[in-house]
Structure 1
Amino acid sequence: MFAYFVRRSPIIQRDALFKTPQCKIAPAVHPSRWRCSATGSTNGPSDDHIQALVQLTVDRFYLPPGHSFQHGTGCNYGPLGTELKKNMLDQWWHSLTRSKEVQVFGINTINTIKERAIDGDGQLKVVNMETLNQEFDLQDLNKDQLIQRLRTLLRNTVSLRTGLLQGALEQYIPSLELVKKKLPFGLAETGSCFQSSDQPGCPAEVTQTSLVWFCSSGTASKWLDHWARQRLQWWRKFAVAPSDFSCSDITDDELGGRASRGIKIVYSFPWGEEPLETLWSRGDTELLQTHGDIRAKLQCRDGRKLVVPHVVSVTGNMDRGVMAYLDNSLQQLKKADGKQKLHQRKVMKLHPVLAPVKVALDMGKGATVELRQISDVLRLEFLEAGISVWPGYLETMATSMEQLNTRYDEMGVLFSMLIGENTLESGLLQVRSRDTTIKETMHISEVKNFLTRYISAADI
């Protein structure tokens, strides 16, 4: 079955179917990474950085060829990009739902929505192609009749959700018993949403994160500031250059009457700043509209008072977040070889918690069968402990260790381990660090605990 995606419009035509001081942080300035100008031209190192980033992410299995970093919309991730995004979503989820300070509960809603009074115009609709063709085949209709039938067709079809806010508003009342009708509390969700794109008829799919926080009217501004600080701290926690992440007030023009206050978390890409998360103090209007303006059933306890809560929303674009961390983590370093010649070393220095691959296993010289057996056992031990492994020892093409280390650095692999004759004789293997390039000798019985402790320490 085929479907057309159409944007609802007041007029349907036949050919148309087809102010917070706490967050005033100045953006980072990096002399070594010049920014694109307003006209789109680039200056020196910025252009080189973008080219290196695009090439590396394609060569090292993060993104498919042809992906544009500047769109910040969903794409077909490669194996490492998929794992990076999953790790980011897991960390986002844990940071909210496992907090000891606040009550946040997870929800899950479907990505199609029924017609609602507050939706307004501009919704993305799904129309069955067969049904649409049947309407066009009705030759005895004049233009006005066709328009009326198409209006009815669109009115009776579902809309693709463009955000996660509405699902949380609808689940507010069912959640009241969970918190014994006591404020504040929040509902968190991640999922696909659809937004307008530059390509006509093709909506952009975006992986959104959403926190909808219910609180009293008197504390809404305080909670907006709280979540802005918490979210900025979260983004900076995993960054190589934390100052590339900043937050700023949303201007009155940008608010557009949708909220009383707004804050955005932005990342300084080489071509300019783009928002990763947007926070709004939305008042109680949308919550009341969702539930028929019946205030009595919406009231919660705020101390001794019964109040209709105000809503603070935090909406994130995780696809753009993936691009931000890839850009932030790529380091191009100069190194000297044994002949004192300078070479450029590219390292995808992703945070240990986010890195898609924690360890790569390789074999040195020695008895191939026995070494492979040891590698297989070690790989299974890592996987059982939840440590992702790149099985380099299974490769059939002869590759030097220098070439392998270059590849692993560009993939962002935290450690590479070389299993050789010493492992057979004494249980010792060589462990190389991505970040320091230092090689250490470690007993095979110690490596799993070493990796577990290293990753856990980085997650504090």
Structure 2
Amino acid sequence: MSCCSYINSTGRAVMEGSDPASGMLQLLQRRFFIPPDHHHAVSLLKGKTCAYGPLGVDLKRNMLEQWWSAVVRSRPQVFGISTLHGIGAKGAGEVEDLLNQRDLTKEQLGERVSELLQQRQPFRTSLLQGALAQYVPSLELTNRKLPFGLAETGLCYRPEDGDSDAIGCSSEVTEASLTWFCSPRTSSQWLDYWTRHRLQWWRKFALGPSDFSVCDVRDDELNKSTLRGVKVLYQFPWGTETLETLWMLSDAELLRNHTGSQAELQCRDGKKIVLPHILSLSANVDRGVLAVLFNSLQHIQKVDSKQRLHQRTVLKLHPTLAPVKVALDMGKGSTSELRQVCEGLLHEFLDMEISAWPGYMDTTQSSMDKLHTKYDEMGVLFTVMVGENTLENGLLLVRNRDTTIRETMHISEIRQFILKYISTAENV
């Protein structure tokens, strides 16, 4: 990669070759997380969606699945939705509301629809508008009882000043959003609850939990309908960036998006009938991917038996996020027989939804040190070596990424061992 500078979302120049961002980006390109093209690295540093390579795709997918599990599947009254990209600032729901207004003439109706279409943006800028549009239909799911939430993940269009300076830089962001409807009397407590929930979620996957923090949004940054705001932050090498924002909104946001009768918007808070307040939780998944990668990167120095200093670079990704759980390789022995064993193990891993890397298919000869260097930089949890002992008595050599300890294990035990390892890490 040529020596140049990237501009992160704070507007600060990040010089390649002079700081940790350079080494990280080269590692990500070398190990199939992102393509080698320069503009993909620029997009990722700016917290925008880029093209991902095989490992990047799986890491991002694992993060989205963990988010969905934590936000949607772990508590009642949270429902998943899917909305169209072209909702924009004025959604399709407003057009529908206009069509239902009987007191407008055809001319007035045409003028109002034309105004809305002119105000619409070509792509949505957040997922909040889609949730607000689906608010009324969702009331039937909850019997109009508060609280409840609508969750969605997807692309949003967020052009920024200076994007044109970064040739090919994306204006898309992958967002994970929860819109939480609650009573006005409990909205502050719910904001505190979800702030703790989101901070704990980010820290769950971290080697350095203290790099993740929260702060209140200043009053001068709030708009009229926003009562409070909180940001979840990550301390990157170049400065602090926002991973997630939580907004506590009044009922004005709901009234602005639904111009019909207020009665259809009302919910039950115990025995009271109220208009709900809204908590909007929005995570930038692409910036979150970058934060998790930086947080998991370790450079470990060690001295070998000849007193030579070596540096080991490893992505200690959390077991649930690691794109590859196990790599399969062959040692000494009959190549054809060892390959058959590896292929059998590979299919068994895949059947149990354990992501496996078929290292035995690589025909280039590499030393064990080079092999471990490659897998450490890929974040592979375990390297399984099939050799002569496997053919004789079913024994495998298994190396742990985090401890570098190699232990012998019977081939019949390896699958359950890895499943238990991942399950234990997920429940911590």
> So what's the TM-score if we normalise by structure 1?
0.81
d(CA) in 2 for partners of 1:114, 1:48: 38
Following TM superposition, by how much is the alpha carbon of 1:54 offset from its aligned partner in structure 2, in angstroms?
1.3
Corresponding residue of 1:112: 86
Matched, 1:63 2:26: no
Matched, 1:189 2:160: no
SS across alignment from 1:260: strand
Following TM superposition, by how much is the alpha carbon of 1:199 offset from its aligned partner in structure 2, in angstroms?
3.1
Corresponding residue of 1:248: 215
Following TM superposition, by how much is the alpha carbon of 1:291 offset from its aligned partner in structure 2, in angstroms?
1.4
Which of 1 and 2 has higher RCO (CA within 8 Å, sep 6+)? 1
In the TM superposition, 1:44-193 aligns within 5 A as 47-65=18-36, 66=38, 67-68=41-42, 69-100=44-75, 102-113=76-87, 116=90, 155=118, 159-193=122-156
d(CA) in 2 for partners of 1:348, 1:114: 38
The CA deviation string for residues 310-366 of structure 1, in whole angstroms up to 9 with x for no partner, is 101101100000000111111011012221211110000000000000000000010
Matched letter for residue 390 of structure 2: T
Q: Is the 8 A contact 1:118 1:290 kept in 2?
A: no
d(CA) in 2 for partners of 1:202, 1:271: 19
Corresponding residue of 2:401: 434
Matched, 1:451 2:422: no
Corresponding residue of 2:200: 233
Following TM superposition, by how much is the alpha carbon of 1:116 offset from its aligned partner in structure 2, in angstroms?
2.3
Corresponding residue of 2:111: none
**Shift in alpha-carbon separation, 1:221–1:329, aligned structure 2, 3 A:** same
Following TM superposition, by how much is the alpha carbon of 1:51 offset from its aligned partner in structure 2, in angstroms?
2.1
Following TM superposition, by how much is the alpha carbon of 1:410 offset from its aligned partner in structure 2, in angstroms?
0.5
**Shift in alpha-carbon separation, 1:346–1:83, aligned structure 2, 3 A:** same
Matched, 1:307 2:270: no
Q: Is the 8 A contact 1:115 1:159 kept in 2?
A: no
Matched letter for residue 82 of structure 2: N
Following TM superposition, by how much is the alpha carbon of 1:115 offset from its aligned partner in structure 2, in angstroms?
6.8
d(CA) in 2 for partners of 1:70, 1:341: 35
Percent sequence identity is 56
d(CA) in 1 for partners of 2:142, 2:13: 53
Aligned residue among 223, 231, 240 for 1:273 = 240
Matched letter for residue 303 of structure 1: G
d(CA) in 2 for partners of 1:231, 1:157: 32
d(CA) in 2 for partners of 1:109, 1:308: 23
Corresponding residue of 1:199: 163
Matched letter for residue 137 of structure 2: P
Q: Give the number of the structure whose residues are more often helix, by fraction.
A: 2
Matched letter for residue 167 of structure 1: G
Q: Is the 8 A contact 1:162 1:193 kept in 2?
A: yes
Following TM superposition, by how much is the alpha carbon of 1:70 offset from its aligned partner in structure 2, in angstroms?
2.9
Following TM superposition, by how much is the alpha carbon of 1:293 offset from its aligned partner in structure 2, in angstroms?
5.0
Q: Is the 8 A contact 1:337 1:343 kept in 2?
A: yes
Structure 2: gaps spanning 5 or more residues = 1-7, 94-113
The CA deviation string for residues 259-310 of structure 1, in whole angstroms up to 9 with x for no partner, is 1100000000001001000000011111112111521001111100111111
d(CA) in 2 for partners of 1:115, 1:48: 39
**Shift in alpha-carbon separation, 1:455–1:185, aligned structure 2, 3 A:** same
d(CA) in 2 for partners of 1:357, 1:452: 13
d(CA) in 2 for partners of 1:157, 1:217: 30
Matched letter for residue 116 of structure 1: K
d(CA) in 1 for partners of 2:346, 2:48: 35
Q: Is the 8 A contact 1:115 1:155 kept in 2?
A: no
Q: Is the 8 A contact 1:194 1:203 kept in 2?
A: no
**Shift in alpha-carbon separation, 1:247–1:115, aligned structure 2, 3 A:** closer
Corresponding residue of 1:379: 346
Q: Is the 8 A contact 1:288 1:294 kept in 2?
A: no
Matched letter for residue 49 of structure 1: P
Q: Is the 8 A contact 2:181 2:278 kept in 1?
A: yes
**Shift in alpha-carbon separation, 1:441–1:58, aligned structure 2, 3 A:** same
Corresponding residue of 1:9: none
d(CA) in 2 for partners of 1:64, 1:394: 22
SS across alignment from 1:316: strand
d(CA) in 2 for partners of 1:153, 1:171: 19
d(CA) in 2 for partners of 1:89, 1:272: 25
> Aligned-pair RMSD on alpha carbons?
2.5
d(CA) in 2 for partners of 1:51, 1:306: 56
